[in-house]
């Protein structure tokens, strides 16, 4: 890591964190104004309010980070131009293209942060915030969806369940393990109750039967060799699939596609999660393109805000087109980023020719 890159990275990080604090604070303040009357009527304590917004913070960061990165990059490049640092670097043989590449590497780092916030911490935080809002503010008990008469296969197992709740609890489980030739059952497991967490299934008060050996045994708790994630059974058109993580959404797409379902909408969302994280690297090039045109910080920031709004509209339009099947999912999710990338590269190429 060169001295110049460390200087650029840490200076950019300070601007980004400051802008992120301002943007995140404004976002939460606006949301708080909308919800304050409900929170006060419910008698929510300051600690509960703090916990609620702390849980929402990772999701907010993930949502606004591309715009914040663009603003911080534009401000940094304008300040460097104003302080004649750009001129000094060019005189030392370091081209604007080198600075742009370093900015792209910074975008890669923050893109990984964005992806982690959106696909893990943000999802967990939104789940926690939703429970707080429903149970402690609205005083409503969270309703759990229930699936009845569920059947599925998992490798050499055929499984049925009389009932499966969204919290992972279920009843009336029957699991049949097929023999290698698929002509008979090696093992039969029956349980009045069971529970599942992710890909882990546990039968409670289970009866294990081995038909070939004429043997049966009662087991208080039996771990089943199943890998199926039970939460995937609740993926449907009625819920918000965008709240699923990148990995869980990918598994849902595979399962539903194998079952013959139309998954274009889910594929658009899946690609969109990647495209949104990758948009930070596009924003780095856009920032360089903006400053190559005008290095006045006020004009550059104003143009960056306009670009952010345009990108938001294009992203929303592309997602809608992809989910309705009017364009391929890849085009719907990545199209706006590709358009913006091409415009930024053309501008940078033209600026380079002028020099």
Instruction: Say if 237 falls within a structural domain.
Output: no
More confident residue, 319 or 127: 319
Instruction: Say if 249 falls within a structural domain.
Output: no
Instruction: With CA atoms as reference, report the closest residue to 48 among 142, 132, 122, 131.
Output: 132
Instruction: With CA atoms as reference, report the closest residue to 116 among 67, 58, 68.
Output: 58
Tens of pLDDT, residue by residue over 38-74, are: 777 777 788 888 888 888 888 899 999 999 999 999 9
Domain boundary among 226, 247, 274: 226
More confident residue, 66 or 247: 66
Domain boundary among 200, 226, 252: 226
Instruction: Say if 25 falls within a structural domain.
Output: yes
CB hemisphere CA count around 290 (13 angstroms)? 29
Give every strand in the sheet of 169-178, ordered side by side: 146-154, 157-165, 169-178, 185-197, 200-210, 215-224
Domain that holds residue 101: 3-139+265-354
Tens of pLDDT, residue by residue over 249-284, are: 887 787 777 655 677 888 888 899 999 999 999 999
Whether residue 137 is predicted with pLDDT greater than 70 in this model: the reply is yes
Number of structural domains the chain divides into: 2
Instruction: Say if 129 falls within a structural domain.
Output: yes
Residue 160, H or E segment: strand 157-165
Q: Which three-class secondary structure state does DSSP give residue 124? A: helix
Whether residue 235 is predicted with pLDDT greater than 70 in this model: the reply is no
% of the chain residues with pLDDT over 90: 29
Is there a single domain that holds both residue 11 and residue 125?
yes
Instruction: Say if 109 falls within a structural domain.
Output: yes
d(CA 147, CA 231): 11
Instruction: Say if 80 falls within a structural domain.
Output: yes
Is there a single domain that holds both residue 48 and residue 196?
no
Is there a single domain that holds both residue 187 and residue 276?
no
Q: Which pLDDT belongs to residue 106?
A: 93
């Amino acid at each position: 890591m060169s001295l110049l890159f460390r200087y650029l990275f840490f200076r950019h990080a300070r601007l980004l964190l400051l802008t992120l604090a301002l943007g995140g604070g404004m976002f939460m303040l606006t949301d708080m104004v909308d919800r304050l009357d409900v929170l006060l009527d419910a008698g929510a304590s300051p600690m509960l309010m703090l916990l609620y917004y702390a849980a929402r913070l990772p999701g907010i960061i993930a949502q606004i980070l591309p715009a914040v990165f663009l603003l911080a990059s534009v401000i940094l490049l304008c300040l460097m131009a104003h302080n004649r640092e750009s001129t000094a670097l060019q005189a030392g043989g370091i081209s604007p293209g080198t600075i742009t590449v370093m900015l792209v590497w910074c975008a890669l780092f923050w893109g990984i942060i964005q992806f982690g916030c959106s696909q893990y911490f943000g999802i967990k935080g939104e789940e926690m915030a939703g429970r707080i809002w429903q149970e402690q503010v609205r005083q409503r008990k969270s309703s759990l969806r229930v699936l009845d008469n569920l059947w599925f296969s998992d490798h050499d197992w055929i499984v049925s369940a009389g009932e499966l709740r969204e919290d992972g609890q279920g009843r009336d489980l029957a699991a049949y393990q097929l023999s290698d030739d698929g002509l008979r059952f090696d093992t039969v497991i029956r349980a009045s109750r069971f529970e599942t967490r992710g890909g882990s299934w546990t039968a409670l008060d289970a009866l294990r039967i081995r038909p070939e050996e004429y043997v049966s045994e009662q087991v208080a708790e039996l771990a089943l060799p199943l890998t199926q994630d039970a939460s995937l059974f609740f993926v449907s058109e009625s819920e918000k699939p965008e709240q699923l993580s990148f990995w869980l959404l990918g598994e849902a797409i595979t399962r539903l596609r194998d079952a013959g379902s139309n998954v274009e909408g889910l594929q658009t969302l899946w690609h969109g999660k990647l495209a949104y994280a990758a948009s930070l690297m596009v924003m780095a090039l856009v920032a360089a393109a903006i400053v190559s045109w005008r290095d006045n910080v006020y004009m550059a920031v104003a143009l960056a805000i306009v670009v952010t709004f345009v990108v938001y509209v294009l992203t929303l339009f592309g997602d809608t087109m992809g989910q309705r099947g009017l364009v391929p999912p890849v085009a719907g999710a990545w199209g706006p980023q590709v358009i913006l990338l091409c415009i930024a590269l053309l501008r940078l190429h033209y600026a380079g020719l002028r020099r």
